[in-house]
Structure 1
Amino acid sequence: MIRPPHTRSRLTRRRLSRRAWPAAARLLAPQLWLRLAAVALVALLCAGLSWQFVTARIDRSLAQALLLSDRALKSEVERFRYLPEVAAEDARIAAALAAPQDATAIAAANAYLETVTAHAGADQLYLLDAEGLTLASSNWDERNSYVGRNYSFRPYFSDAMAGGEGAVYAIGVTTGEPGFFMSTRLGNSRDGAMGVLVVKIDLRSLENTWTETGQKIAVADSDGVVFLSSEAIWRYRPLRPLDQSTRARLTRSQLYVGSGLEGATPVLTGTAGTGLLGSGLMGSGLARAVDGAGRSLSLRSAPFSRGWQVLAAASPWPAHLAALVTAGVVTLTGLLALALLNLRQHRHRLIALRLRQTEVMERKVTLRTAELNHEIDARRKIEADLRAAQETLVHSEKMAALGRMSAAVVHEVSQPLAAMEATLTAAQFALDRAPDQVGARLTTAHGLIRRMQRMTRNLKNFARKEAAPSQPVSARTIATAALELVQPRADSIGIRPIYQPPEQEICVMAGQMRLEQVLVNLLHNALEAIEPGTGQVRLSMETQGSDLWINVTDDGPGIPPDILPRVTEPFFSTKTHSEGLGLGLAISHEIVLQFGGRLDIASPPAPEMNRGTRVSIVLPVLPCAPTPGIR
């Protein structure tokens, strides 16, 4: 039995593999295992070094991010540290504090605080009396004004009254907007005019900066609650679980009212994270951070004033990835070296085998290339035949349309001929009797001759085979020519098509004669669908977006929904007494597709209508540029 060439090549490879197996088994000696162990050891060592290097680089970047964040936070706070103390030196503040019932003094203090806030760039600046009641505020004229509200429960008030100054980050109970509150006590107990001046500043611009730079930065207060963070999921969550006394104190002071702190889970979880928190999170270490995916993070922190902590975090995944890649590269390199050593022994035999296989393959490729060239030539010939057949069908459809128009064309030509004969006869008789009427009669005869010339010229152009490629053509010119071609047919059934030309010239990329053929075919179909003498055919154009819609609408019986999808199929027709081949819409559909457009058919034309059909030629609009030779 003779096997095919590809079967013989597979059998040859199998025999060679069976012969090579005993030799490969003998190579699995102790020295090979030692080499594999050495490769694994070197890979682990290189992976560890790579992990340490990338981890150190991450640690340095975290330290740099901490330094920059600490300086930015300190700079933002220091800008407004002395604003309450400086603003309190004004006499209007002292007057308002001394006479809180004096409307004039309060109004002056409000205006002063509003001006200072606008110039300093602070969020709010307001004055509290000794009971924590707001006497004047920079937002005195706003809907959420602080005036008249009591803030004695706020730590910044109690700390200022007790120690002279106070500072705390909190969410505003009036506006709901977070901010950093710094307060200064005014007067002393001996004068009897005690009060507190508070400035509120917005630190969220720092969050935006950290987010834009892609850093994971957070700031936590002395209770370990994160109040500033580039990671939204960390904000207003404790770093570690809060005890009951701390939760109760935070609830009384309403520092984070409405933030959901009561039910928030800690940001850091796991054994490593607990150890870091216990040591104040100094230095760098690995902690379990809930950042939305439960991924481990490398953390580094620095202490800030008032017991705050600034934290910088980064994913340790680059270090793990570097270790894995290094181990993989080293392992693959070692295995490749061992494989090269083993393959060296088979090199000469494989080269000889490959040379023989190459010769066989070259013969096969040569044979197959010849076969493919023959197939390509055959397909090209078939495609050329198909194109010629398509052009013949298009021309045949044109001739069929001309045949359908022949009776109307004969009438259209014979009528002007009869009128012209009568006009010339009258002119001959009037030559002697009324010479002044001869010129008018000859002018009428010339008009009838031009009418017949225009009709025959349009028919000749319509019947001509178009070989020119697509080019920008005027849609208005094509519509006018198509209407002239179908006018005899329309006159024969007593119909005058309604044409609504566009106000401006519109151009499309198409062939002049082929697009005229499509439009003439659609107009003929519309004329055949309506009742003679009473029906209506409408031709209109409109632009929708970047497309031009050339609409041919009739008020005939319409197309049943079950056959509407088939109307563009070749040789499909619903006209039982028509001489057509059923190719009109099919050829029109193909021609429009060649122009990069489509045919849109709706029956009825609109939801509010119960009969009629609309067939639209949809083509992309082009800018019109006058070109010599284009009609």
Structure 2
Amino acid sequence: MTTARALILAGLMAALVWVLAHARAVDVARQELDQTLLLTTRAVAAEIDRLRALPDVVGQDARIRRALSGAGPLQDADRYLETVAGHVGADVLYLLDATGETIAASNWNRPESFVGQNYAFRPYFQDALATGHGRYYAIGVTTGVPGYFLSARVEGAGAAGVVVVKLDLSPLQDTWRAAEADVALTDEHGVAFLSARPEWQYRPLAPLPPDVLERLVGARTYEGVGLEAAAPLLSEPPRGADARGEGWIARIAPVSATGGQVVAARSLQGIRLLAGAWAALAALATLAVAAILQGVEQRRQIVAMRLSQSERLEAMVIERTADLGREIEARKLAETDLRTAQEALIHTEKMAAMGRMSAAIVHEISQPLAAMEATLSAAELGIPAGEAKTLARIGKARDMIRRMQRTTKHLKSFARKDTVDVSLIDLRAPVKSSLDLVLPRAKTVGVTPALRLPPDPAPVMAGSVRIEQVVANLLLNALDAVEGRPGPEVEVALAVEGARAAITVRDNGAGIAAEDLPRVADPFFSTKLSGEGLGLGLAICKAILADFGGTLDIRSIPQEGTQVSVSLPLAEQDERT
């Protein structure tokens, strides 16, 4: 193994091990983060559940009910709230009337007292009045200190109010930072209000919709932190519990106690370093194995160099013998091709001789046919009136003779040597004539070709006889294709499409194989059985059409049929005149 190959293999092995090690490290990190999520969720729930029932309990006190109804002094309620808050460790405990104004609070005697403040805009007040309880995290508009608010509706002598307790969750945040755990707690909108990372605090996981941002601004939830300009923490939408940020991965779990989510993150730098260490070890191990293999290979090469000269000569003789065998096969193939070409030329000459004989025979029988037609005409004139049956028989005989004369006329025209000279012709005439030429063959096959001609002329600049030759060849091919098949159909149609005239010959024969379709118009290529065709018909048709600026297009589906289209440019207006 060469040094370059060893280095490439070591690089590939290092890349593979890095990918596997990275994936494994990510899986382990996810498991550890799930444990962190579980512990964090329980800690948050325990802290909130500790005071969850406090607003309901406080609301049952007579002093609170009297203060709410105006039947007792507010100072009694203030001192009661102050005492309870001190015992349970609540940050603030206060009472709101039905308008949202604070009428009693545990901090009544402090500069930052809530007494007299109106908090009707806070969702925890609105939810408590509507449903009986509320919960919300927000930055205090009076103190500027963030906290988690729990509220409960209370009734007193026909008056309704809300008791609210404010929890300070910052000890949880201090614990996370002391433990260097990348943990964050978000509200129901995905905004991180507690975080071990200071730069994460008051940033949304994903961009906030305008309506949510508007509600947060209206409730003054995060007043003064510039939430609308804060960049999202996640670099892409989360996939289930998995999330990814700038240089870190995280797991997300819901916190039923707050209605929000807890996020536990892990930096990708340590994972990448661990994967890199495994990749380096894999690369070194691969290089060591490559060095061993290279030593073994060198020993093998030394042994191979000591092979005897006779073995080398024997290999050379075998190789030369194989070359001679290939040369012999090539010569045999060339001889076969030459014989095939010779047989094709002989068959072509036979067909040419047959054509000349056919022309002579047509010439010989045309005169007797003309004489017979004249004799029947004279006989028809000499028959007395009233011999209707005899006249009908003579008429049928004359019609058959005229049909034979039309056939011989077409054969003479088809056999006549045509030049490349062109003239203005109506394509309908040669198309119809070509169909008359192949009718005997069509009767043998057992099919009557359908003819579709437009009502208006299709003028083109071409040779009438050569167009007949093209269409007749295409019709004969179609008849050969449908011979022996059930329900044979052959159709020839002429249509004017824009500035061109199109002649289409369709059949429902066996079709042409996809691998043979590109070669069917090549000279001497034929799909018919041996001896039934020279493979020159379509090649001659293409050559004839090229003289008139026309094209030939062949489309076929095996076992469904073939469609051959001839396209010729219509004559210009000045050519028609």
TM-score normalised by L of structure 2? 0.49
TM-score normalised by L of structure 1? 0.45
Larger Rg: 2
